Structure 1
C-alpha cells in the first residue's frame, strides 16, 4: 500500500530520520563541547590546586603545636586556621594521595607562612621543631649553669642545683658522688621549646638538661678516657682536668700546666692551685681582687695549698682540651708556675726560680702578691 503523506507536512518530518551527515555533525559538536568543558574544568582545577599550594605570606613565623596522634585532616585544619596554608582541603587531598606514607611528627613548630604547602609538609615530616639553644662554656660550675638557666626563665636556679646533687644510676659514673660537678659536659645544646619553656615542672626540666649533658659526656669524654692508658681513675682525671681548665687562661699552656700538676702529685707536693680555694670559698678572684693570705689559709678539703693530693672532686666542668691535656701532658721538669697579669704563666723548676719570678711580676705591676703554685 502506497503512503501518500506529504513529506513536507509535519507528520512527514516526524516520520523521517535525520540524514547520517547531520547526526555525525551534531555528535562531533557534542564531543567537542564536552571535551572543552572537561579541559576547562581540568585547567581551572589545576590553577586552583597550584593556587592552594602557594604561600600565604606573612611578616614572621607562626608557632604551631602539633599534638601527638593528630590526623592529617586535623593537622590541615590547624595549619589553615593558624594562617600557615591556604586550604585545609588541599592539605587533605595531597596527604591522601601523594603523602600517604608521610608521618608528621608532633611538637612545637615555627612555620614560615612564606613557604609553600609542600615545604610545610616536609618540615613536619622531618620533625624540624622549634628549639632553644643553650651554650655552657668550659670551666663553668654548676652554680653558673643554674644562673644561666634562671636568666632564660627556664627554671629556678636552686632547683637545678638540687637536681645536680641527685646521682642517676649510670654504670660509668664513679661511686659515692655527692654532686655531678665536672660531669655536665660543656657544649652547645638544643632543646625542644616545650621541654624548657613549657608547663613542665622545674625539676623535670632540670632532669632533661642534666641528662643531655651527661649523655654528651658519655659520648665525647668517656671514649677519650678509655682510649688512653693512665694511672688516674676516671674521677681523678676529671678532677685534675677541671683544675687545669680553671688555671689555663691561654690554651697553649694547658698541657704544660697539666704536666706541672702531675709532677707535683708524683712528688707528693701540694698542688697549690688558686681555683680550688676559690671553689671552696665560692668566690672568684680577678686582677683587682686577688686571693688573700687569710683565704689561702682557710681549711677545706678543696684547699690544695693545705690538703695534699687532689681535692674530693672536680671544681668545674672541664672541656675536651683540658681533658686531653691531662691524658697527654707535656713532659717537663717544671714544678712551679705563677700567673702574669695577662693570663700567661712563668714556669720554674726550683723554688728559688719561682720566687724570683714572683718578684719580677710584682715589679711589673704593683699590687698584692699573686698566689702561686
Structure 2
C-alpha cells in the first residue's frame, strides 16, 4: 500500500470516527433517558390519579424492589434500577432502601423514585382528634378511618405505660383525658393503637404537663384532678370568652363543698349526648354512677374527655366569681347566677323560651 493510499484510509477513519461516536453517544443518551425517565402506569398497582401506592415489606431485596417498580409501571428497566442502586450504595455504603408504603408519582424519574425509597419517604397519614372527644369518640373515629377497630383501641388505652410515662397518675384504669387533642401525622405502615397512643401521650407530656408543673404550687389540684376538672370545663364551655368563668363556677362549687352538678358527667356515665329537644331527664340525673356529679360530691374518678390547652389553662387560673350556677341558652351562651333561686328562675325562663320557639308558626 503506497503512502497516498494510507493517507486516504486514515482520512476516512478520521471522518467516520466522530460520526460513529456521535451516533453511539446519542443512542446511549436516548437509551439512558428512556430507562430513567418518568413512565406511564400500568394496571398492576393501585393507581390514584398519577400516583401509585407501593408497599415494600421489610427484608425486600434491591432486585425485588426493582421488579416491583417495573411491574407497577413506575420504571422502564430493572437493569437501570440495578445500576442506579449500585451507584447509591457506592455513594453511601451505610445507607439502604427502606421498607414501608410509598406513594410514588408516575411523573418521577428513576433517580427520584430511588431517592424516595432510599431516604424512607414513606406515605404518611394525618389524623385530628378535636378537643372534648372522649375515648369512645376516638375509638369510633379510628375504626371509621380503617386504622384499627374500636375494641383494639379501647383495650390498648387500658394498658397504662407507667414505665415510659411515670408522671401518669397511679391507679387509673385507662388513659382518658391524657390523650392530647391535636392534629398528628404518622407513617402509614405504623398505624397501630400503640403508635397513636404514644404520639398523643408524647404531646401531652410536651405541651400540657409542663403547664401543670410550672403552676402546681399555685393550685390544690393533683394532676388527675386538674385534667378531670379541665375535661368538664371543656365539655361545658362552648364560647372561649366564657371558659374562665365556667372554670370559676366549678372551682367555687368545689371550694364551697357543693356538688358540681355537671350535665356532661351524666352524659358520660350514660354514653349519650343530650340535645335541646332531648335534655337529660330527672330519672337520668339520678343514676347510680361515680360519674354522676348530681348525685355524688367532688370530681368523678377520671376525666370525661380530652381537654384542650385553653381549658387546662382556665382550670389552673379560673375567674374569681360569686357565680355558682349557669344554664345553657341553646345558642352556645350561658346565663350565670349566684343563688339557687336565681338559677331555678333562669332554667324556667329558658325552657319557656325554648317552648315558645318550638310552637312558633313557620
Shorter-chain TM-score bucket reads: 0.7 to 0.9
Mapped to 2, the partners of 1:257 and 1:243 lie a distance apart of 10
State the SS of the aligned residue for 2:181. Answer: coil
Task: Check the 8 A contact 2:250/2:260 in 1, yes or no.
Answer: yes
Question: Counterpart of 1:33?
Answer: 16
Question: Counterpart of 2:185?
Answer: 190
State the SS of the aligned residue for 1:256. Answer: helix
Residues 47-76 of structure 1 show CA distances to partners (whole Å, capped at 9, x for unaligned) of: 221222221134442222223344444322
State the SS of the aligned residue for 1:333. Answer: coil
Mapped to 2, the partners of 1:149 and 1:84 lie a distance apart of 32
Mapped to 2, the partners of 1:328 and 1:173 lie a distance apart of 22
Residues 22-42 of structure 1 show CA distances to partners (whole Å, capped at 9, x for unaligned) of: 434422432332332222211
Mapped to 2, the partners of 1:51 and 1:155 lie a distance apart of 42
* Deviation, structure 1 residue 325: 1.8
State the SS of the aligned residue for 2:295. Answer: coil
Question: Counterpart of 1:12?
Answer: none
Question: Counterpart of 2:308?
Answer: 319
TM-score, scaled to structure 1:
0.84
Equivalent residues in 2 for 1:220-259 (5 A)?
220-229=207-216, 230-231=218-219, 232-259=221-248
Aligned-pair Cα RMSD in Å: 2.3
Question: Counterpart of 2:26?
Answer: 43
254-263 vs 74-83, which deviates more? 74-83
1:333 aligns with 2:326: no
State the SS of the aligned residue for 2:185. Answer: strand
**Unpaired stretches in structure 1, ≥5 consecutive residues:** 1-16, 197-204, 368-373
Cα distance change, pair 153–295 in 1 and its aligned pair in 2 (3 A): same
Q: Which runs of 4+ in 1 moved over 4 A?
A: none
150-159 vs 300-309, which deviates more? 150-159
Candidates 174, 177, 180, aligned match of 1:179: 174
* Deviation, structure 1 residue 280: 1.9
1:89 aligns with 2:79: yes
Candidates 122, 126, 138, aligned match of 2:131: 138
State the SS of the aligned residue for 1:111. Answer: strand
* Deviation, structure 1 residue 302: 1.4
State the SS of the aligned residue for 1:94. Answer: helix
Equivalent residues in 2 for 1:141-152 (5 A)?
141-152=134-145
State the SS of the aligned residue for 1:310. Answer: coil
State the SS of the aligned residue for 2:54. Answer: strand
Residues 222-245 of structure 1 show CA distances to partners (whole Å, capped at 9, x for unaligned) of: 222223344221111110111011
86-95 vs 267-276, which deviates more? 86-95
TM-score, scaled to structure 2:
0.86
Mapped to 2, the partners of 1:244 and 1:41 lie a distance apart of 76
State the SS of the aligned residue for 1:228. Answer: helix
Mapped to 1, the partners of 2:154 and 2:307 lie a distance apart of 18
* Deviation, structure 1 residue 153: 3.6
Task: Check the 8 A contact 2:85/2:114 in 1, yes or no.
Answer: no
Question: Counterpart of 2:360?
Answer: none
Mapped to 1, the partners of 2:316 and 2:7 lie a distance apart of 95
1:18 aligns with 2:2: yes
* Deviation, structure 1 residue 98: 5.8
* Deviation, structure 1 residue 171: 0.6
Q: How many residues align?
A: 342
Mapped to 1, the partners of 2:53 and 2:341 lie a distance apart of 66
Mapped to 2, the partners of 1:122 and 1:254 lie a distance apart of 50
Question: Counterpart of 2:44?
Answer: none
**Unpaired stretches in structure 2, ≥5 consecutive residues:** 42-48, 357-362
